[in-house]
Amino acid sequence: MKIHTVMPFNLKQFFLEELELANDYFLNKNFTASWYHLERAHILGQPYPYHHTLVHWKMLLFGIKLKNRREIVGQIPRLLVGGVKSFIGEIPVGNTGGANVPPLKSMKIPADLKFIINENR
């Protein structure tokens, strides 16, 4: 079990880029693309408690702004527990973080993100 507390600088750049893209698409009312980039940020940030929690916070805000009750209700426990799971190293790898997937289900990491993660640890 490996405990991650600090996201590597190079990986953090990709993480922040995904959050920026999510925000840009949201401002342009392209909610599908915005959510897609939040999910990608979740995959990148999942092993790191702060970043994992931050993405769930952004997902909760997304749900609130769109008045999506399912996402709001689904994000609250993820927000409360996600960072703790990251800290102890027990995450469902590749999980995209939304209320549309079971919180403990591991998922296949997209090839481009897998490459980014492996090259920037």
Contact status, residue 22 vs residue 38, Cβ threshold 8 Å: yes
Q: What percent of the chain has pLDDT over 70?
A: 97
Question: What does the DSSP assignment read for 16-65?
Answer: HHHHHHHHHHHHTT-HHHHHHHHHHHHHHHTTSHHHHHHHHHHHHHHHHH
Domains of the chain: which residue ranges? 9-119
- Average pLDDT of the residues in 75-85: 92
Q: pLDDT tens digit string along 32-69?
A: 999 999 999 999 999 999 999 999 999 999 999 999 99
pLDDT at 88: 83
pLDDT score of 1 more than 80: no
